[in-house]
Amino acid sequence: MTSGGWASCNCYKIRLLLAHLARPYERVSVDIFNGETLSDAYARVNPMRTTPVLERGDGRRLADSAAILVYLARGTSYLPEDAFAMADVIRWLIYEQTEVIPMIGGLRFRLLTGRLTADDPEAVRRLTSGAEILTLLDGHLAKHEFFVSERYTIADIALYGYLHVAADAGFIVQPYLHLLDWLQRVARQPGYVNDLVPYGENAAPGAGRSIYD
């Protein structure tokens, strides 16, 4: 069982991997902007109050999208068994969490929900840093079909989660030709889905209750 919201890119990454794996699962919708992660009941599920959360049949739970991707991909083609290649996958997962999400994903969220305007100094800072990130990624993809070992892995899935909607954050992606080609390669993978939906009206500041307010 997985819990999370349809508008969350972190949750989308898990759904994308599960679709590639053709693995059945139960999905529990959690509206983070309706105060659902702020309840005592959800705190017992995940004290960090984030989504997604994976719950196994034996009741054990795992939070954080990167950790869930690694767990689900073990023993499949989406996570190399070679120790060096596996470490390289994890390196990109860390980069996605520490650089891509804050700058590209964070800016997208704040612009689309009205928490920042495009000319806000914080938005400009994130846009500048995000452009540097896209340049680095495009440079890597100039030499590689995918991010690790010339094969499609959870490194690609994690990065795709936020990069495929980078334009929503005001990033002009057309100059990054290698990145654009990679986005198309991901979309051609067997089982690919894109069921990400826009943020609801309650995502706007003051319109709901969430960890972001």
Q: What is the pLDDT of residue 115?
A: 96
- Residues 108, 168 contacting (CB under 8 angstroms): yes
Query: pTM for the full model?
Result: 0.96
DSSP codes of every residue in the chain: -EEE-TT-HHHHHHHHHHHHHT----EEE--TTBTGGGSHHHHHH-TT--S-EEE-TTS-EEESHHHHHHHHHTTSTTS-SSHHHHHHHHHHHHHIIIIIIIIIIHHHHHHHTTSS-TTSHHHHHHHHHHHHHHHHHHHHHTT-SSSBTTB--HHHHHHHHHHTTGGGGT---TT-HHHHHHHHHHHTSTT------PPPGGGSTTTSB-TT-
Q: What is the pLDDT of residue 84?
A: 98
Q: What is the pLDDT of residue 60?
A: 96
Q: What is the pLDDT of residue 1?
A: 61
Distance (Å, whole) CA 98 – CA 66: 11
Please give the average pLDDT of every successive group of 10 residues along the chain, which has 213 residues: 79 97 94 93 94 95 97 98 98 98 97 96 97 98 98 98 95 95 98 96 94 87
Q: What is the pLDDT of residue 87?
A: 98
Distance (Å, whole) CA 140 – CA 123: 26
pLDDT digits (tens, 9 = 90+) for 62-90: 999 999 999 999 999 999 999 999 999 99
- Encode burial over 173-185: b for 16+ CB neighbours within 10 A, e otherwise: eeebebbeebbee
Q: What is the pLDDT of residue 154?
A: 98
DSSP codes of every residue in 95-134: HIIIIIIIIIIHHHHHHHTTSS-TTSHHHHHHHHHHHHHH
Distance (Å, whole) CA 83 – CA 89: 10
Q: What is the pLDDT of residue 72?
A: 98
* 74 φ, ψ (degrees, to nearest 5): -55, 130
Q: What is the pLDDT of residue 213?
A: 84
Q: What is the pLDDT of residue 4?
A: 65
pLDDT digits (tens, 9 = 90+) for 103-135: 999 999 999 999 999 999 999 999 999 999 999
Q: What is the pLDDT of residue 2?
A: 55
